[in-house]
Amino acid sequence: MQRKFAFVLLLAIAGSTVAAAPKPAPKYSTRDEYRACLDEKDQIDQARADFDTQLAELETKQKQYEADRRAHGTAVNSQMKINFADEKSEALRLRSIQLNEASQKLNAVSKEFGAKIEGHNLRCAGMVVSVPDRDAVHKERAKQGKKS
């Protein structure tokens, strides 16, 4: 009985040491890989700012279009303004087409931007960089006037 207990105890100890074996050290990325990820992030940040600007401009144009469309609707109610209304209707219709095209282009840019961010995250999010390499790259970027 004591032998069984000793054997089970020995197996338990051996199993716990195998389970507690250290994992291999993570692969460190090089300075060039880290620098490339930071540069890519800079490009993504600039693209995001450009996209936000384009989106704000489109939203402003859409709001103005809606205001003009509502104003046009009240102008059509007067018989004397029908000729003006017909010209205005055509102009509004053309603006509507232009806004729809701009919206579709911005949607395509948004999808492309999302794919770019996803690729960046796959390459860079789990990156392990040594402290000396990180510090060296940050110093380089600071000299270039870039944020880290």
Q: Is the pLDDT of residue 131 over 60?
A: yes
Q: Which tens digit of pLDDT belongs to each residue from 17-56? A: 555 567 777 789 999 999 999 999 999 999 999 999 999 9
Which residues, other chains included, contact 89 with Cβ-Cβ below 8 Å and sequence gap of 6+?
72, 76
Q: Write the secondary structure of the chain as one string of H (helix), E (strand) and C (coil).
A: CHHHHHHHHHHHHHHHHHHCCCCCCCCCCCHHHHHHHHHHHHHHHHHHHHHHHHHHHHHHHHHHHHHHHHHHHHHCCCHHHHHHHHHHHHHHHHHHHHHHHHHHHHHHHHHHHHHHHHHHHHHHCCCCCCHHHHHHHHHHHHHCCCCC
All structural domains of the chain with their residue ranges: 30-143
pLDDT computed for residue 81 by the predictor:
55
* pLDDT for the residue 148: 74
CB-count burial class (<10 Å; 0-12, 13-18, 19+) for 131: exposed
pTM of the model: 0.67
pLDDT above 70: residue 88: yes
